[in-house]
């Protein structure tokens, strides 16, 4: 296999050095994907995020077979919530008369305390469980780089390029790509392997990534990537 692979992408083909590229799988946690989880409680529609499990599994298995580095992230807090950005706690609290958020971070849900590390709902769905050799980043915020060791882990492995997947496109996927781009990583989001709670948000989020000669990076379809990795 060539050391650089190239796939069709927007705004132009994405070339990546396979030994220096990691797959980033953002927050494929039960709390964002399964019924009764934090996402659904927030008002998220689950159809698209659930449908993204299968193409994300295809992507994950292709990257594993190609010997690429794999990094999974999980959004969540320590049990005391001491690491929770205050904005996350404040803005989800019900304003007077607001019945939208009946339960908030740290409250007990059907899958344990919402978005709390160690709880069943906080962990990654069965289909996409990390292998022992893969990096798992627990992040307190939306982005993968704030208050985590991900930059050190990527640098230590010589990573310069990221293929990015996961949920939700409008939130943690986009925030992580923007954070990575500012740190010099070349990012390519994979259309079928990301999903959100609102299809208009997904479209807009992906469009913003590659607008203007790649404002934050690249966007590519899954199939061309599977073709070059196989
Ligand atoms: N709210 C929402 O759309 N997502 C999150 O809070 N976290 C992630 O995107 N992972």
For residue 215, what pLDDT is reported?
98
Round to whole Å and give the CA distance between 32 and 197. 9
Residue 175's contacts (CB-CB under 8 Å, 6 or more residues apart) are 141, 142, 143, 144
Q: Say how many Å lie between the CA of residue 230 and the centre of ligand 1.
A: 32
Q: Say how many Å lie between the CA of residue 226 and the centre of ligand 1.
A: 27
Closest residue CA from atom 8 of ligand 1: 172
pLDDT tens for the chain, 230 residues long, are 679 999 999 999 999 999 999 999 999 999 999 999 999 998 899 999 999 999 999 999 999 999 999 999 999 999 999 999 998 888 776 556 655 557 899 999 999 999 999 999 999 999 999 999 999 999 999 999 999 999 999 999 999 999 999 999 999 999 999 999 999 999 999 999 999 999 999 999 999 999 999 999 999 999 999 999 99
Closest residue CA from atom 2 of ligand 1: 171
171, 33 in Cβ contact below 8 A?
Answer: no
Q: Say how many Å lie between the CA of residue 134 and the centre of ligand 1.
A: 22
Kindly provide the ipTM of the predicted complex, given to two decimals.
0.92
Q: 31-64: buried (b, 16+ CB within 10 Å) or exposed (e) per residue?
A: bbbbebbbbbbbebebebbeebbebbbbbbebbe
For residue 181, what pLDDT is reported?
98
Q: Say how many Å lie between the CA of residue 169 and the centre of ligand 1.
A: 8
Active site residues: 27, 139, 172
H runs (alpha helix) in the chain: 30-33, 38-41, 47-51, 53-65, 86-92, 150-156, 174-182, 199-214, 222-229
Residue 8's contacts (CB-CB under 8 Å, 6 or more residues apart) are 220, 221, 224
Q: Select from 32, 115, 125 the residue to mutate for testing ligand 1; criterion: most ligand atoms less than 8 Å from CB.
A: 32
Tell me which residues have their CB closer than 6 angstroms to ligand 1: 27, 32, 42, 75, 142, 167-168, 170-172, 197
Round to whole Å and give the CA distance between 125 and 122. 9
The pTM of this model reads: 0.96
């Amino acid at each position: 296999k060539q050391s650089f692979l190239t796939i069709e992408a927007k705004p132009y083909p994405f070339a990546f050095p396979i030994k220096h590229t990691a797959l980033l799988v953002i927050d494929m946690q039960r709390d964002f994907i399964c019924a009764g989880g934090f996402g659904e409680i927030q008002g998220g529609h689950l159809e698209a995020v659930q449908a993204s499990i299968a193409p994300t599994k295809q992507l994950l298995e292709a990257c594993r077979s190609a010997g690429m580095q794999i990094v999974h992230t999980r959004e969540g807090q320590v049990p005391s919530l001491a690491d929770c950005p205050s904005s996350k706690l404040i803005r989800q609290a019900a304003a007077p008369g607001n019945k939208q958020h009946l339960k908030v971070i740290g409250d007990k849900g059907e899958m344990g305390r919402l978005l709390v590390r160690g709880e069943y709902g906080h962990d990654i769905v069965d289909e996409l469980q990390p292998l022992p050799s893969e990096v798992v980043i627990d992040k307190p915020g939306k982005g993968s780089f704030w208050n985590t060791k991900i930059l050190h882990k990527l640098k230590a492995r010589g990573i310069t390029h990221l293929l990015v997947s996961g949920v939700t496109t409008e939130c943690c996927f986009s925030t992580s790509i923007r954070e990575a781009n500012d740190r010099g990583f070349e990012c390519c989001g994979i259309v079928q392997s990301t999903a959100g709670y609102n299809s208009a948000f997904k479209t807009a989020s992906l469009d913003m990534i590659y607008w203007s000669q790649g404002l934050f990076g690249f966007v590519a379809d899954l199939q061309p990537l599977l073709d070059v990795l196989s």
